[in-house]
Amino acid sequence: MTEPLRLSKRMSELGLCSRREADEWIERGWVRVDGVVVSQLGSKVLPNQRITIERQAAQQQARRVTVLLNKPMGYVSGQAEDGYQPAVTLVNAGTRWKEDKTELTFHPSQLRSLVPAGRLDIDSVGLLVLTQDGRIAKQLIGEDSSIEKEYLVRVRYTKPGKLPDADLQLLNHGLSLDGKKLLPAKVRWQNEDQLRFILREGKKRQIRRMCEAVGLKVLGLKRVRIGKVALGDLPPGQWRYLRDDERF
């Protein structure tokens, strides 16, 4: 016998929205199960039941924006901490990239619920995604996300000589953090003092800790790509909207 699931969880699994959005839509009477409006939070459904959303929910979702920011050093990804400003404070009409070709007009209401989909350390720079869309957040940072993230990492070897090939192989696969094996990565030399990392997970300070494990000190770290979306020529401290034709 198939177990019933919470309606909000099932909607998230189907990629309709985030669980938070689902709860909001259920309360507003914007969700139907097998054609019947369900407005009770905590309601459960069977996996084979048909879930549809009202036009108002689809319209609300369509107005939600996703922003690509080239985060400079000295800004934290999320909430303000230790006197440092969050990256979202860089999103305003004056810092929008002049090459942004989307037809959207900036409005302060777009800052409401604009949250980072993934972290980028205060001393790291590059591509940071901020979104109002729960579907994109789930795609990038959900438990089952396998979206690639690409970094350029400037390093210095702290031991005599050069990094052994065996240790480069360890960076690709074989290291553990916090007692758990890391997923396979793609790590290769970009030039004599810079590595290119491609990861499919994002543990806290993962690249710095991986490098430390093989005797490398990270001097600079820049994220240049998330999935199919690249940082490109976006200048530091500026942002643009995710285009309709772009998919992570």
What value does the mean pLDDT of the chain take?
92
- 105 vs 192: CA distance, rounded Å: 44
- Model pLDDT for residues 157-197, shown as the tens digit of each residue: 999 999 999 999 999 999 999 999 999 999 999 999 999 99
Does 246 reside within a domain?
Answer: no
Q: Does residue 168 lie within any of the structural domains? A: yes
Residue 198, domain CATH? 3.30.2350.10
* Percent above pLDDT 70 for the chain: 99
pLDDT of residue 79: 78
Examine the domain organization and report whether 221 and 178 are in the same domain: yes
- The pLDDT confidence band at residue 141, using thresholds 50, 70 and 90, is confident
- pLDDT over 60 (residue 1): no
Q: Are residues 139 and 70 in the same domain?
A: yes
Are 43 and 106 within one domain? no
Closest CA to 200 of 163, 248, 236, 155: 248
Q: Are residues 117 and 80 in the same domain?
A: yes
Indicate whether 121 and 163 sit together in one domain: no
Task: List the CATH number of the domain containing 87.
Answer: 3.30.70.580
pLDDT tens-digit map of 203-237: 889 999 999 999 999 999 999 999 999 999 999 99
Same domain, 41 and 136: no
Q: Which residues touch 126 (CB under 8 Å, ≥6 apart)? A: 70, 71, 120, 151, 221, 222, 223, 224, 231
Asked if residue 125 and residue 9 are part of one domain, the reply reads no
Sign of CA dihedral 14, 17, 18, 20: negative
Q: What is the pLDDT of residue 221?
A: 98
Residue 248 lies in a domain: no
The average pLDDT across 93-99 equals: 96
From residue 101, how far is each of 177, 206, 210 by CA, in Å? 41, 34, 38
Last residue of a domain, one of 16, 43, 62: 62
Same domain, 96 and 37: no
Percent of the chain having pLDDT more than 90? 71
pLDDT at 62: 66
Measure Cα distances from 67 to 64, 116, 176, 224 in Å. 10, 9, 33, 15
CB atoms within 10 A of CB 21: 24
Q: What tens digit of pLDDT does each residue of 32-75 get?
A: 999 999 999 999 999 999 999 998 887 777 678 999 999 999 99
Residues 127 and 102 in one domain: yes
Number of domains in the chain: 3
Which pairs count as long-range contacts for 38-47, CB under 8 Å and 24+ apart, including other chains?
38/7, 41/8, 42/6, 43/6, 43/7, 44/4, 44/5, 44/6, 44/7, 45/4, 45/5, 45/7, 45/10, 46/2, 46/4, 46/5, 47/2, 47/5, 47/10
Task: Supply 84's token pair.
Answer: 């440092």
Span 113-128, mean pLDDT?
93
Q: Give the span between the Cα atoms of 84 and 122, in whole angstroms.
A: 9
Looking at the structure, tell me whether residues 18 and 119 fall in a common domain. Answer: no
Q: Is the pLDDT of residue 146 over 90?
A: no
Do residue 196 and residue 183 come from a single domain?
yes
Please check whether residue 247 lies inside any domain of the structure.
Answer: no
| Host domain of residue 115 | 66-144+229-241
User: 204 and 154 in one domain?
Assistant: yes
Residue 178 in any domain: the answer is yes
- For residue 20, give the CATH number of its domain: 3.10.290.10
Q: Which residues are catalytic?
A: 121
What tokens were used for 217? 């000190």
For residue 98, give every residue at least 6 positions away whose Cβ sits within 8 Å of its Cβ, in sequence order, or none. none
Q: Is position 235 within any domain?
A: yes
